[in-house]
Structure 1
Amino acid sequence: MFLAGFAALAVMPLLPVAARDLDGVALYPLVAGAFVAASLLGGVLGGTWADRAGARRPLMAGVVLTVVTLLVSATSTTIWQLALGRFADGIAAGLVAVSVNAAIGQSYPDHIRARALALMSACWIVPSLVGPPLAGLVAAWWSWRAVFFGLAGLTLLPAVAAVLLLRGRAAQGGASQGAQGTEEPVRRPALPAAVTVSAAAALTQYGVSAWDVRHAVCTVSGLTLLMAFAPRLLPPRTWRAERGLPATVLLRALTSGAYFTLEAFVPLMLSTARRVPGVVTGLAFTGAALAWAGASWVQGRLQGRVPRHRLVAVGAGVMAAAVALAVLCTLPPVPAAAAVSSMVLAAVGMGLAAPSLTLLSLTHAPVGGQGYASGAMQTSQNLGQTVVLALASALFSAVSTAETGQLTPFVWAFALLVLPVAGTACLAGRTRMASPDRQHDPEPAVTAAHPEPMDET
């Protein structure tokens, strides 16, 4: 997880440089969106694989594929090869994220899971501080390709370790049951539906990158495909927020969509409308990573003291305050530093809500279906990020064309985020565990395969 965070945070700032070097700036939105779109497919593959054979095999496949895809990106001679490398890397990231969450769900008793997930979040602290500046220095002094080669070398050791140490234990995986797992049969997502949803997500992210007829057609087509096929990858009745796993999966989409959209537009506002130095924007990302990890540590310490669904509601309330602060920051008299604070505050809310939702999903998972639940959470996270960001971007572009002022489009984009965070606060009770008193009882160690999504990405 440490190396995954390092790779994610180090690579993203280099993609514009790579696209320019490969004469593919026009296709940069596709390159940037390929990772998230492919992680949808990786999450589905990883969840199904983990339930059938244990978490070790998809984890091994994920770390090995990560090395291969980094080498593909490093040796890119065209923008299309770079896009292919990022797409394959997204599949690998989905496999690793779901496998890690599934392994935590099956290998640790309930009263330790929260701290295990907090440790996963803590793995992003050092990468958030070191990754972007170090990658920038290497790219400036040498080449952006050297960053990809270096990351591949760093990932090679855990890839070899995973193959050698876990290979002989893969057969130990089997069905497991959470503390409150249901006996309902697991409806496995179909691979064609997963492929279609991944392609639709990439199409949508490309479509919202500009405001013309071609991009509008791509956006509408992508959203239509998502609405038609995404429900097939999620638990039944997710869109109706039925109590248990469906509501938990839906809230993951709402919280992730709100947070990552805020994370996209606040830096844009700082660099364009507010004209602040780049170092201030960098501090916003660093502060957000630290705040997320700190809040995640707090929720781990609250295990057994505060019901999980209440932590979700509190996290949503904190995110609502962050959205309100972001709207306030569109007023010229408000210092730009307040916008940085909105990202940090939103990260606190996610640090409380995201691990809690992951734990709730593992608890609500059907018997032998913790990999399925983890895959659904990964899919939901990426779908929420794609859809909410697409809607906010479309609204932002529409208001921008009206020439109403440089800050007005940001007001509408931030105001839109009130809907998902308010929905999360209102529906948090539907994720409540059936027997709250049982959350203190340690459950027997289980041996199968199942994981915490890479929402920190």
Structure 2
Amino acid sequence: MSHGDPASFSGPLPIVPPVDGGSIWSARYAGTTIGAVSLIFLAALQSLAVTTVMPSVADDLDGHALYAVAFSGTFATSVIGMVAAGAWADRRGPAAPIWIAVLAFISGLVIASLAPTMGLLLAGRLVMGLGSGGLVVSLYVIVARVYPANLHGRVMAVFSAAWVVPSLVGPAGAGAVAEFLHWRWVFGGVALFAVAAFALLAVQLRKLDLATEEPSSDPVARRLLLAVVVAAGALALGLSGEGGPLAGDSLLRGAAIAVVAFAVVLVAMRPLLPAGAFRAGRGLPSVILMRGLIAGACFGAEIYVPYLLQDHYGFSPTWAGIGLTVGALTWAGAAEITGRWGDRIGNRRIAGTGAGLLAAATAGLAVSSVVDPPAAVPIVLWGVASGGIGLLYPRLTVLSLAYSTRQNQGFNSSALQISDAVGTSSTMAIMGFAFVAVPVAFSFPVVFGIAVLIALAALAPGMRLGHAAELRG
């Protein structure tokens, strides 16, 4: 089977001689590492900060009718950015795509910071989504081409850690900026820092050979059209849940729209994933499928953790965030473990442990929502769940790069992100319907129970990821 065929590659990893890669902080890689990590940090900071200030934005711009779309729209356009950047990188290398992606990301932030109406702010968010989707995919391809394979795990561990500080200070910092300066600075400030971060990375990229020796010849127009369909379906799926604009007051109508939208998304995204992904084919297809499942289980459950702490324990919104903070710390710690010793531990063991911890902890949260133990219990349980996802999440990225060649790194990186995004949005929609459809006493047990089932389902592809020995070569 040809390694140049991204839609069908599922064979063993190519065996290459061991490479002495040194450290990601060595003189050879430090500039690239700092620039790339800074961009990930700023993307995370923006994502977390906007959640805090959006109510103020909606009040100031009289835009409550567009509140939900300001979030779901960004996700929808990010899918288009992912596919465009991946296809471009496979044909011409990642240098040009990351320039365009960062430009779109910064432009969207500037538009949002200056927007006089909610409609223009939404336009900025849509442009920002195009940029953020392309940015992450381009960075993954750069990692694959700049660093030797034995350092990929370390880079992904640092990327995971780059989410920790924003998780700790982002929401509070954004609130302070909005209170003492203005919410516009939350967007504008990130834009200024993004310019500086990319300037550092751009200097390094000029020194590197990132070109593709044998460019992919796969048709791009069809993939972009499918990405637009996936984005539209995902947007409709998000807007149909929990009394969204498409559902109105009718839960039945919302459910019908969601079913149709989900079917459209599945059909349209299939050609954007490696062949065999939906049936857990061995190797890369299972990597892609597992990423979508664990993302859905984790991020779907995550939005109900602070809700549980507020509803059952009377926490304020600020104090309810402590559960997510604990989770961010355990995630980063677990990512560091697999970043350093992932090859030694082995992929089956990482998959079984990570998905098992996620399933056990969310099961504990379901029980906790019924018996009301001390508040420390659900907080600790979420820390365990996040530790499980921290073991898996960056490791799956490393595997997707290891199963790639220079001809399909962009395709595989975009497939990973699409699976992630669609898995998350779909699970959130399902949980949203369940939360409002069942009696109040069962709402939390049901949504956390859904997370348990999805985490357990992830074990099937998790046993078909491949072996750590293949990564070492």
**Given that residues 94 and 210 in structure 2 are in contact (C-alpha distance below 8 angstroms), is that contact kept between their aligned partners in structure 1?**
no
TM-score after normalising by structure 1 = 0.88
- Of 410, 430, 433, 1:371 maps to 410
Distance 1:186 1:414 in 2: 41
Q: Distance in 1 between matches of 2:320 and 2:208?
A: 44
Residue 242 of structure 2 corresponds to which residue in structure 1? 209
Query: What does residue range 19-38 of structure 1 map to in structure 2 within 5 Å?
Result: 19-38=58-77
CA distance in 2, matches of 1:332, 1:438: 46
Shift of 1:439: 2.8
Question: Would you say how many aligned residue pairs link Structure 1 and Structure 2?
Answer: 427
Q: Matches of 1:438 and 1:240 in 2, distance apart?
A: 22
Higher relative contact order (CA 8 A, sep 6+): 1
Distance 1:118 1:190, change over 3 A: same
Q: Residue 452 of structure 2 is aligned with which of 404, 414, 418? A: 418
**Percent identical:** 32
Structure 1 residue 78 corresponds to structure 2 residue 117: yes
| 8 Å contact from structure 1 (residues 5, 127) kept in 2 | yes
Q: TM-score, normalised by structure 2?
A: 0.85
Could you tell me which residue of structure 2 aligns to residue 449 of structure 1? Answer: none
Name the residue aligned to 2:364. Answer: 325
Of residues 287-296 and 210-219 in structure 1, the stretch that sits farther from structure 2 once superposed is 210-219
User: 1:17 Cα shift?
Assistant: 2.0
Counterpart of 2:233 (choices 172, 193, 200) is 200
Alpha-carbon separation, structure 2, partners of 1:92 and 1:170: 22
Match of 1:439 in 2: 471
Matches within 5 A, 1:127-206: 127-163=166-202, 166=205, 168=206, 172-175=210-213, 190-206=223-239
Query: Stretches of 4+ moved more than 3 A in 1?
Result: 159-166, 168-172, 184-189, 213-218
Superposition RMSD in Å: 2.3
Name the structure 1 match of 2:89: 50
| C-alpha distance in structure 2 between counterparts of 1:159 and 1:232, whole Å | 32
Q: Say whether the 8 Å CA contact 1:247–1:431 is kept in structure 2.
A: yes
Q: Which of 415, 427, 445 lines up with 1:388 in the alignment?
A: 427
**One-letter amino acid of the counterpart of residue 232, structure 2:** A
Matched-pair contact (CA < 8 Å) for 2:342–2:395: no
Cα distance, 1:77 vs. partner?
A: 2.4
**1:187 Cα deviation after fit:** 7.8
| Deviation of 1:374 (Å) | 0.7
- The corresponding residue for 2:328 is 289
Q: 1:446 matched to which residue of 2?
A: none
Query: Post-superposition shift, 1:163?
Result: 4.9
Assess if the C-alpha contact under 8 Å between 2:402 and 2:471 holds in 1: no
* Residue aligning to 1:274: 313
Structure 1: unaligned runs, 5 residues or longer: 178-183, 442-457
Match of 2:138 in 1: 99
Query: 2 CA distance for matches of 1:43 and 1:248?
Result: 18
Q: Which amino acid aligns with 1:100?
A: L
Secondary structure, counterpart of 1:239 in structure 2: helix
Give 3-state SS (helix, strand or coil) of 2:330's partner: helix
Kept in 1, the 8 Å contact 2:95–2:210? The answer is no
State the distance in 1 between where 2:257 and 2:52 align. 25
Q: Gapped runs of 5+ residues in structure 2?
A: 1-39
